[in-house]
Structure 1
Amino acid sequence: MEAKKYKSLQEFYPFYLSEHQNTTSRILHFIGTALVVLSLITGVLFHDWRFLLVIPFLGYGFAWVGHFFFEKNKPATFQYPGYSLASDFMLFWDLLSGKQNFKVK
Structure 2
Amino acid sequence: MDKKHTSLSSFYLYYLYEHRHPRNRVLHYIGTSGVIALLILSILWQYWTLLAFIPLVGYGFAWVGHGLIERNKPATFTYPLYSLASDFIMYFHWITGKLSRQLEAMEKHYGLSDKD
Regarding TM over 0.5, the answer is yes
- Give the C-alpha shift of residue 44 in structure 1: 1.0
Task: Give the letter for the 1:86 counterpart.
Answer: A
Query: What do the CA deviations read for 1:1-30 (whole angstroms, capped 9, x no partner)?
Result: xx5211110110000000001111010000
After superposing on structure 2, the runs of 4+ consecutive aligned residues of structure 1 that deviate more than 6 Å are: none
- Give the C-alpha shift of residue 57 in structure 1: 0.3
CA distance in 2, matches of 1:49, 1:65: 26
- Give the C-alpha shift of residue 81 in structure 1: 0.2
Which is higher, the Rg of structure 1 or of structure 2?
2
Q: Give the match for residue 87 of structure 2.
A: 88
Task: Give the letter for the 1:76 counterpart.
Answer: A
Higher relative contact order (CA 8 A, sep 6+): 1
Query: Structure 1: any 5+ residue segments left out of the alignment?
Result: none
Q: Give the match for residue 16 of structure 1.
A: 15
Query: Structure 2: any 5+ residue segments left out of the alignment?
Result: 105-116
Give the TM-score of the pair, scaled to structure 1.
0.91
3-state SS of paired residue (1:54)? helix
Instruction: Tell me the percent identity.
Output: 50
Total equivalences in the alignment: 101
